Amino acid sequence: MGFVELKNVCKRYDKTNKNAVTDFNLSIKEKEFIAFVGPSGCGKSTTLRMIAGFEEITGGELYIDGKKMNEIKPMDRGISMVFQNYALYPHMSVEKNISYGLKNMKVPADEIRKKVDWAIQVLGLEEYRNRKPKNLSGGQRQRVALGRAIVKDSKLFLMDEPLSNLDAKLRVSMRNEISKLHRTLGSTTIYVTHDQVEAMTMADRIVIMKDGVIQQTGAPMELYEHPVNKFVAGFIGSPQMNFYPVKLEGRAISFAGGGKVNLPEGIAEKLSPRKELIMGIRGEDIKFDGQNMELYGADKQSATIENTEIMGNENNLYFSFGGITTVARVSKYEVSEIGDTVEFVMVPHKMHFFDPETEETIAL
């Protein structure tokens, strides 16, 4: 049994005829960092709140460290939680905010002082020790919220979109802070986010949810390279995977508008006898360079650049192909102007194929 076990966990709110979470099954190892991701309303925060005890479990079982938790009060579950809105006491200093929970737990004063001093040092809050929340930046407030959680010596940390209120630069630095903190504490962490970049860069494993149901669970690169369905393929990765309705004609796939790409014989055999498919390909697997043009030149396509995004380390090129707005991710040295006609190739063995009815991945 894992450190945290969810078995067929369901949640249905009163006066509704549909589950918010359905048959959620997951085993989390001790010291693992797990991220729950998905669009708004997918059930990720609801699941976290059931683990915390803030939401009643409608069906199924929850175990933490081998003990069934369905009826256990939140304060007795041995967890610490960090919220999206920080939830700091405005009239208390940084030091008092961090120590408040320990005082309520009747921890001896000298132990409180040691724990608070340690948390302040670890989180780089020494110069802000006596400031109140109104005199702190968003990142500093979030660190105080983290400090309040880590002093409790909990084995399980729950974080509900803790970085969503921060600007882009602060989110990057705080991602690093939380990852380092996780390794330092050796705790088990469950992290809820709608940002797939946060999940990809921080988590050991990611749980992708849609409409209250787990779509896929796995390591970040496993989900990126081997998505089980079109939803996962489109959700993981930035820019999003390009999708095209295509027809299989012998060994070739044909696109709306007349473009064709020949497939390796083995791939074509596995796709037959289907005639209609959805093909997906990531932007970095659409190539413009000479080497790939030489390799796949028999299947080169052409398009007119409609928009560009200069990212610094790379460029995104937008154009219409197969009736779909397509984005290609290229190196910073491959620069095209709006209105340029360009030639490109799609790498056949990097293509993903999905059933047009079920949207499930077709294994190759």
Give the pLDDT confidence score for residue 200 in this predicted structure: 94
Model confidence at 124: pLDDT above 90: no
Question: Greatest CA separation found in the chain?
Answer: 77
Lowest mean per-residue pLDDT among 60-64, 96-100, 276-280: 96-100
| Dist. CA 301–CA 298, nearest whole Å | 9
Confidence of residue 241 (pLDDT cuts 50, 70, 90): very high
Q: Is 44 domain-assigned? A: yes
Section 302-307 average pLDDT: 95
DSSP state of 258: S
Domain co-membership, 27 together with 174: yes
Domain end position, chosen among 174, 204, 235: 235
Alpha-carbon span 114 to 155, nearest angstrom: 19
- Does the residue 182 lie in any domain? yes
CB 300 within 8 A of CB 347: no
Instruction: Determine the residue type at 253.
Output: I
pLDDT of residue 30: 95
Asked whether 281 and 330 are in contact (CB, 8 A), the reply is no
Q: Are residues 212 and 299 in the same domain?
A: no
Q: Is 194:161 a contact under the CB 8 Å cutoff?
A: yes
Residues 251 and 336 in one domain: yes
Q: Are residues 153 and 55 in the same domain?
A: yes
Q: Which residue has the tokens 């076990």?
A: 5
Task: Give the count of domains, the chain.
Answer: 2
Q: Which of 235, 252, 278 is the last residue of a domain?
A: 235
CATH number, domain of 325, equals 2.40.50.140
pLDDT greater than 90 at residue 258: no
Tens-place pLDDT, residues 16-37: 889 999 999 999 999 999 999 9
Confidence of residue 244 (pLDDT cuts 50, 70, 90): very high
> 3-state DSSP helix/strand/coil percent for the chain, to nearest 5?
30, 30, 35
- pLDDT at res. 236: 95
Q: What percent of the chain has pLDDT over 70?
A: 100
- Decide which of 235, 263, 291 is a domain's last residue: 235
Is residue 361 included in any domain, yes or no?
no
pLDDT band with cut points at 50, 70 and 90 for residue 292: very high
Is residue 214 situated within a structural domain? yes
* CA 166 – CA 170 distance, rounded (Å): 6
77 vs 82: CA distance, rounded Å: 15
With 0-12 CB in 10 A as exposed, 13-18 as middle and 19+ as buried, what is 240? middle
Token look-up 């933490």 returns 64
The per-residue pLDDT for 316 is 96
CA distance 145 to 35: 19
Nearest to 88 by CA among 70, 100, 73, 76: 100
Residue 254 CA to residue 245 CA, distance in Å, equals 9
- CA–CA separation, 87 and 83 (whole Å): 7
* 98 shares a domain with 26: yes
Q: Which amino acid is at 156?
A: L
Of 101-115, 167-181, 255-269, 346-360, least confident by mean pLDDT is 167-181
360 belongs to a structural domain = no
User: What's the confidence (pLDDT) of residue 79?
Assistant: 93
363 belongs to a structural domain: no
User: Which whole-number Å values give the CA distances from 286 to 114, 258, 299, 313, in the listed order?
Assistant: 56, 18, 12, 17
Residue 362 domain-assigned?
A: no
What integer pLDDT is reported at residue 12 of this predicted model?
A: 96
Sheet architecture: strand order including 21-28: 21-28, 4-11, 59-64, 67-68
Domain that holds residue 264: 242-354
One domain, residues 154 and 58: yes
CA angle 32/33/38 to nearest 5° reads 135
Q: Are residues 152 and 84 in the same domain?
A: yes
pLDDT exceeds cutoff 80 at 326: yes
My answer on whether 45 and 99 are in the same domain is: yes
Percent of the chain with pLDDT over 90: 71
**What is the average pLDDT across 209-216?**
97
Of the candidates 148, 40, 138, which has an alpha carbon nearest to the alpha carbon of residue 92?
Answer: 148
Same domain membership, residue 343 and residue 198: no
Supply the mean pLDDT for the chain: 93
* Per-residue pLDDT band at 185 (split at 50, 70, 90): confident
pLDDT band at 139 (very low <50, low <70, confident <90, very high): confident
Same domain, 180 and 327: no
359 in a domain, yes or no?
no
Helices (H), 151-195: 168-185
